[in-house]
Amino acid sequence: MAEQKMIEVPFQQWVNDKELWVQLNDLMMQESKLPGPRVNLELSDHFAKQFAHPNLTDTGWELLVSWTDITEAEAGVNDPREFLPFCAVRALGAYYSYAGEEQQVVIQNSIKTAMNDSRWRVREASAMALQSIGEDDFTLLRQLIDMWEKGANRLEQRAFVAALAHPPLLKKKENTLYCLQLAAGIMESIDGGGAQHEDAEHFRVLSKGLEYSLSVFVANEPEEGFVMLERFAKSRDARILKIVKSNLGKSRLSKKYAAQVAEILKEFDKIR
């Protein structure tokens, strides 16, 4: 099937004219592909890129803030209107490195709120917003995560690892080593029993994120990465073992690093 051609939208004109906001809202919802299994990522990419510059007007800022304020009660999962906060959070991430200090604080709060949203797509938007920040300046992203890491809940931890498991962010070794260190800290908090009395759904969301993200980090820095996986493969916590085994099964590791994977899998045989 041929790819659908991206619709031509004069975003800058519509965003900066309040009289056209209704028209913009209607078009975004109509083209959202919601309800449905896959939101219109191409359109959200295009929309977010409109804000990757330092010249955001007060009107444009007001639009984004108003969209991020749309709650689940107003637009639940799979409602076409859910596409508006999804796009707004992504756009705020694209603008973050250009924003002034006061606006950055607002964006930080919006992204952190999105991390904890009950709607999975809005949570995904928070991770994608962090990716945009990291692509502009990994130091900025690291500062944010370092600020939030202490005391972060499971949904916030999931946003961190999902954001960092993004190949464009891992081109420098120091970036990947940071990701491995952060992931190891999260794994340690689980291994210590910290998740046992928490919300089961929130832990499930984090676990799903860890079950693939570690393999992305390890594939970029296999020497340090496999040392980490081997350490956690010796855990007696079933949750940790599930995460490790899932990552070892990812083709990015199992095909290129078959010997290292096989060696770590021996640890699982010892447990039986």
pLDDT at 152 over 80: yes
pLDDT at 167 over 50: yes
Residue 157 half-sphere exposure toward CB, CA atoms < 13 A: 24
The mean pLDDT of 49-57, rounded to a whole number, is 97
CB 96 within 8 A of CB 56: no
Give the per-residue pLDDT at 8: 76
Give the per-residue pLDDT at 193: 67
DSSP string, 209-256: HHHHHHHHHHHHSHHHHHHHHHHHHT---HHHHHHHHHHHTSHHHHTT
The mean pLDDT of 160-168, rounded to a whole number, is 98
DSSP string, the chain: -PPPPPPP--HHHHHT-GGGHHHHHHHHHHTS--SSSS--HHHHHHHHHTT-SS---HHHHHHHHHHHT--TTTS-TT-GGGHHHHHHHHHHHHHGGGS-HHHHHHHHHHHHHHHT-SSHHHHHHHHHHHHHHHHH-HHHHHHHHHHHHTT--HHHHHHHHHHH--GGGGSSHHHHHHHHHHHHHHHHHHHTTTTTTS-HHHHHHHHHHHHHHHHHHHHHSHHHHHHHHHHHHT---HHHHHHHHHHHTSHHHHTTTHHHHHHHHHHHHHH-
The mean pLDDT of 7-14, rounded to a whole number, is 86
The mean pLDDT of 233-240, rounded to a whole number, is 93
The mean pLDDT of 48-65, rounded to a whole number, is 97
pLDDT at 262 over 70: yes
Give the per-residue pLDDT at 1: 35
The mean pLDDT of 130-140, rounded to a whole number, is 98
pLDDT at 2 over 50: no
Average pLDDT, the chain: 94
Give the per-residue pLDDT at 196: 54
pLDDT band at 86 (very low <50, low <70, confident <90, very high): very high
Give the per-residue pLDDT at 5: 59
What percent of the chain has pLDDT above 70? 95
The mean pLDDT of 1-14, rounded to a whole number, is 70
CB 217 within 8 A of CB 183: yes
CB 90 within 8 A of CB 44: yes
The mean pLDDT of 41-52, rounded to a whole number, is 97
* Segment among 5-14, 67-76, 226-235 with least mean pLDDT: 5-14
